[in-house]
Structure 1
Amino acid sequence: MTKIEKVDNGNKGRFIIYENDEFAGELKYSRPEKSKFSIDHTAVEKKFAGKGLGKKLVINAVEYARENQLKILPHCSYAKKIIENL
């Protein structure tokens, strides 16, 4: 079972993805301004590569940003590629 949780530390945070309760990867973000949401880095453990977990992290982050009316700044090249194809 896949689970994603959001950990927010003010101007920075991350979305963490678990597969069967095991850490599988994360997406790190920052909030350079109140209205902006910067996706800084996305990584998935090698053990879980090729299962679409990175894409799930990006989609989850994009949904969060849109729900909160934040401008998305995809500084992570992987996230930028996924967002362009949404």
Structure 2
Amino acid sequence: MNYTYQNNQSGNGGFMTMHNDSEEVGRLTYTIMPEDNRYVISFVNIYPKFEGQGLGKLIVKEAIDFARDNNWKVYPHCSYARTVMSRMDDVQDILLKS
């Protein structure tokens, strides 16, 4: 299945939604701290009927791509995002541990 993402940024915060062909399947909220070049993933939520399909990892990857495009370091405040990122080999250059 194909998934699309919509980034709803307002000032230094926002949320990213993930959609399948017919509905929203989850969202990720974030805060941008431009003075520190920091992108904070606050919360990842995949709706219950879509859980267990690896979709949370996909939306975290989309957020990482957005941060990379803007040369931000990523701090995963959300424990789920932190776990996902700790298992990824290709994010050590942008992962902030605190």
Q: Indicate whether the TM-score tops 0.5.
A: yes
Structure 2 residues without counterparts, runs of 5 or longer: 89-98
Could you tell me which residue of structure 2 aligns to residue 21 of structure 1? 22
Of 54, 60, 69, the residue aligned with 1:52 is 54
Query: Which residue type is aligned with residue 71 of structure 1?
Result: K
Give distance in 2, aligned partners of 1:23 and 1:67: 24
Q: Within the alignment, does 1:42 sit opposite 2:44 as a pair?
A: yes
* Secondary structure in 1 matching 2:62: helix
Q: Given the two structures, how large is their TM-score scaled by the length of structure 2?
A: 0.82
Structure 1 residues without counterparts, runs of 5 or longer: none
Identical amino acids, percent of aligned pairs: 31
The count of aligned residue pairs is 86
* Secondary structure in 2 matching 1:8: strand
Q: Given the two structures, how large is their TM-score scaled by the length of structure 1?
A: 0.92
Could you tell me which residue of structure 1 aligns to residue 13 of structure 2? 12
* Secondary structure in 2 matching 1:20: coil
Give distance in 1, aligned partners of 2:59 and 2:41: 11
Q: Structure 1 residue runs of 4+, over 6 Å off? A: none
Give distance in 1, aligned partners of 2:42 and 2:31: 7
Give distance in 2, aligned partners of 1:58 and 1:2: 13
Could you tell me which residue of structure 1 aligns to residue 72 of structure 2? 70
